[in-house]
Amino acid sequence: MPRLKKPDYRQRLAALRKSLNDEDVDFALFNDQPRLRYLCGYTGSNGLLIVGHSRAEFYTDSRYTTQAKSEVKGAKVAIVPGDLLAQLPKIALLQKGRPKVAYERAQFSEAQAKRLHSSVPNALFVGLEELVAPLMAIKDKTEIATIEEAVRIADFGFEHILEHIRPGVREHDVAAELEYIMKREGSEGIPFDTICASGPRSALPHGRAAMRKIRKGDFVTLDFGAIYDGYVSDMTRTVVVGKPTSKQKRVYEVVRRAQAAAVRASRPGITGQKLDDVARKIINKAGFRKQFGHGLGHGIGLEVHEGPGVNPRSTVTMRPGMVITIEPGVYIPNWGGVRIEDDVVITRSGHRVLTQSEKKLIVL
Ligand code: ZN
Ligand code: ZN
């Protein structure tokens, strides 16, 4: 892994401040881990970041004193009692005038939002749809290199798990082994429960690993990822145990063609909707319209599901620096299913596929 440049928090805060201007608010408030990490470098829990046009303050409790002081960049650190929202009435920054304070609705529970609105009598709290998400969706070089390392670890895991997939082995054990291999290769953990779904269970798009034993003739779908320096990868491959039937080959080829076409179409200017449609048309034409029930993909970064959406409802336009998954699937109840998922970065001239694992049907 090459030495990576430190994130430019100053630039991130500057971009956020521009959004504050555009939204006509005085401050923005954050308490969720991905955003705290993204905006000021804090990797602990229980943090509250207040960003104003000219200053930023970060609050946490005494368990995180040392960590906050060494990690937080661009904001003044204050250590306060643990219930951070209860501190809001005491924060001097919010007492002057009648400040407008924005927060992202999705990041605060209803109960928390209620507390916000009644916490500082002179302040007006405004719940916004999104504020930092559009900034987080465009990755810089360092972020892309970090994701690439998470992708490399997942590719490594896939290569090494293949020898463990054989008749008689439980899905659960395949998933556990895969997670162990990736952890030894440098993964900080798993971004979501590893999916290992075999035989008829491969028809469940999100079938978590179970105690079912793999049998000869099964499709086995593995959907998993690694985490490197906070950034995730997310990949899926379906393999077959023993000689594939002609139906298995046919279904696999449809998904493979749909996946390859959508990857080829990935470029700046195309919307999430249009990209989804490229794969969906191929699957529909092959007669599996009802068997592809989920969106084509999603953004990845510090979170495993973030912007931009790549699905029939996504009007977001792809831009250089976005990192998305392309993951069509066909799921036939009581028979089995196939999904192939790559991580793809949108570049100025088109795209670059980060996931390197084989996409031809692997026969074990
Ligand atoms: Zn996945
Ligand atoms: Zn995914």
Cα 214 to ligand 2 centroid, rounded to whole Å? 23
Could you tell me where in the chain the CATH 3.40.350.10 domains are found?
A: 9-132
Virtual CA dihedral for 292, 298, 303, 304, nearest 10 degrees? 30
Ligand positioned closest to the Cα atom of 236:
1
Q: Specify whether the CB–CB gap between 65 and 88 falls below 8 A.
A: no
Q: Which CATH class is domain 9-132?
A: alpha beta
From the CA of 14, how far away is ligand 1's center (Å)?
33
**What is the model's pLDDT at position 82?**
87
- The secondary structure of 258-306 as a DSSP string is HHHHHHHH--TT-BHHHHHHHHHHHHHHTT-GGG--S-SEEE-SSSSSE
Global pTM exceeds 0.75? yes
Ligand 2 centroid – CA 112 distance (Å)? 29
Asked if pLDDT for residue 1 goes beyond 70, the answer is no
Ligand with the closest atom to the CA of 324:
2
Q: What is the pLDDT of residue 179?
A: 98
Helix axes 272-285, 246-265, angle to 10 degrees: 160
> How far does residue 85's CA lie from ligand 1's centre (Å)?
35
Candidates 159, 143, 190, 155; CA nearest to 345 is 143
- The CA distance from 296 to 339, in Å, is 10
- Residue 2 clears pLDDT 70, i.e. is over it: no
DSSP annotation of 132 reads: S
Neighbours of ion ligand 1 (CB under 5 A): 223, 234, 236, 341
What pLDDT score was predicted for residue 223?
97
Helix (H) / strand (E) element for 19: namely helix 9-23
CA distance 55 to 77: 12
Average pLDDT, integer, range 211-231:
96
pLDDT at residue 114 in the model:
92
pLDDT band at 277 (very low <50, low <70, confident <90, very high): very high
d(CA 277, CA 286): 14
Q: How far is the CA of 310 from the centre of ligand 2 (A)?
A: 10
Domain 138-353: which topology?
A: Creatine Amidinohydrolase (3.90.230)
Q: What is the pLDDT of residues 302-354, one digit of tens each?
A: 999 999 999 999 999 999 999 999 999 999 999 999 999 999 999 999 999 99
Asked whether the beta carbons of 235 and 153 are under 8 A apart, the reply is no
Q: Residue 248 C-alpha to ligand 2 middle, in angstroms? A: 22
Residues 6+ apart with CB under 8 A from 90: 80
Using 50, 70 and 90 to split pLDDT, how confident is the model at 208?
confident
List residues, by chain if needed, whose CB lies under 5 Å from ion ligand 2: 234, 325
**Least confident span in 5-14, 169-178, 237-246, 280-289:** 5-14
pLDDT-derived band at 5 (thresholds 50, 70, 90) equals confident
Query: 326: which residues sit within 8 A by CB, 6+ positions away?
Result: 259, 262, 263, 266, 275, 279, 296, 297, 310, 341, 342, 344
Residue 155: both structure tokens together: 């590719």
Distance 236 CA to ligand 1 centre (A): 5
Judged by its nearest atom, the ligand closest to the C-alpha of residue 303 is 2
Rounded distance from Cα 290 to ligand 1 centre (Å): 20
Q: Look at residue 331 in the predicted model and tell me its pLDDT.
A: 97
Under DSSP, is residue 2 helix (H, G, I), strand (E, B) or coil? coil
Distance of alpha carbon 96 from the chain centroid: 38
CATH 3.90.230.10 in the chain is located at 138-353
Q: What is the 3-state secondary structure (H, E, C) of 91-111?
A: CHHHCCCCCEEEEEHHHCCHH
**Nearest ligand, measured from the Cα of 300:** 2
| pLDDT classification of 209: cutoffs 50, 70, 90 | confident
